[in-house]
Amino acid sequence: MISNPTPQRALRGHMPQRPTPRAATTGEHHAQLARRLTPRDRWLARMLYEHKVLTSKQIIELCYPSKRAANHRLRDLFTWRVVDRFQPFVSKGAAPMHYVLDIAGAAALAYEDGLDPKKIGYRHEDAIGLAYSLRLAHTVGVNGFFTSLVALSQQPSTNGRLTAWWSELRCMRLFGDMVRPDAYGRWREDEREIEFFLEFDFGTEALAILSSKLHDYEKLATATGISTPVLVWLPTNRRETSARGALATALAQLDHPALVPVATSATDVAGELDPASARWLPISGSASRRPGRLRLAELAQLWPQAAPSAAPVSPAVPAGEAPSALAAPQPLPPPLPISNFGR
């Protein structure tokens, strides 16, 4: 019989000690960070500023060779208050850890861009408050779409590369007076390149509202003279079938439907899961096409009028305005030797 059992508190994992919010903004703390943060650490912090929240799985897809390497480095970044984390409640199993930008990380990015940390629009309460946001799952879903493209870009066996990824907030600041896409992206593969707006549908939005957005995209194309495809990602094949009918009706009612190329896909489409694979089904229009689903790069050949310009136009942000104060990060992380991971 055990007469002296181990106390429960002794069985708990060690919680890393973190500086207080005030200490995390001091010169002494940032002097220590200066020798600790790698270019990839700063890039990850910038990605969290731009895209708000990333799960541990998405961060591994973005910039780490293994789960072990990611956990080791993320623990350090959490300890230094470069990132913060939370784990949402789910009814079954356990949700992955979700990471957001923390106080020291936001200040480091501001100093890196020569800005006052108080003027970049960052508030720790807002960042960690995403844990309770009704749009958390939607934001994570949109980010997962692009992190899978980033992971594909880094595979030696693929010729594809994600060359641009703008968040919903950055798109709103640039196009918000006309349309508010969930994200903007640009994909290059086999000397073909396509830029696109993403509409990520969770099945909770009325199809009439989803299809009405095509009128706004037509207005944007007319104003800019640039025809940008709209990719609609749906949760199920059944939802996709219903959405395609509503979208086709809305396209037919436009004055210039050729200005708004549209293609759809669904999570449960058979085949490879990455968005670059042959899973996109264009809405029938004036352009002829072969039957069946197309690869993302093949849409560029289908819609030659939507060929992107040499480089995406950066949003012009008035001085002092916060959400786009920091420069948009490149979608791919800076290259680092594998031996540097975990340091």
CA 131 to chain centre: 17
pLDDT confidence of residue 2: 60
* Whole-structure pTM value: 0.89
Query: Which region among 29-43, 80-94, 140-154, 310-324 has the lowest average model confidence (pLDDT)?
Result: 310-324
Residues paired with residue 195 on neighbouring β-strands, in sequence order: 186
pLDDT confidence of residue 315: 42
Digit-coded pLDDT (tens) for 108-127: 999 999 999 999 999 999 99
Q: In what order do the strands lie in the sheet with 83-86?
A: 54-55, 98-101, 83-86
Which band of pLDDT confidence, cut at 50, 70 and 90, is reported for residue 1?
low
Which band of pLDDT confidence, cut at 50, 70 and 90, is reported for residue 15?
low
What's the mean pLDDT in 170-196?
Answer: 94
pLDDT confidence of residue 219: 96
Digit-coded pLDDT (tens) for 123-149: 999 999 999 999 999 999 999 999 999
The yes-or-no verdict on residue 176 having pLDDT over 80 is yes
The yes-or-no verdict on residue 310 having pLDDT over 60 is no
CATH 3.40.50.2300, domain 19-133, yes or no: no
The yes-or-no verdict on residue 170 having pLDDT over 70 is yes
Q: Are 182 and 169 in contact (CB under 8 A)?
A: no
63, two tokens = 């910039």
Q: In the chain, what are the domain boundaries?
A: 19-133, 136-306
338, two tokens = 């594998």
Which band of pLDDT confidence, cut at 50, 70 and 90, is reported for residue 162?
very high
Q: Are 298 and 281 in contact (CB under 8 A)?
A: no
The yes-or-no verdict on residue 99 having pLDDT over 90 is yes
CB atoms within 10 A of CB 243: 22
As a whole-number percent, the residues of the chain with pLDDT over 70 amount to: 86
Output the CA angle 9-342-33, nearest 5 degrees. Answer: 90
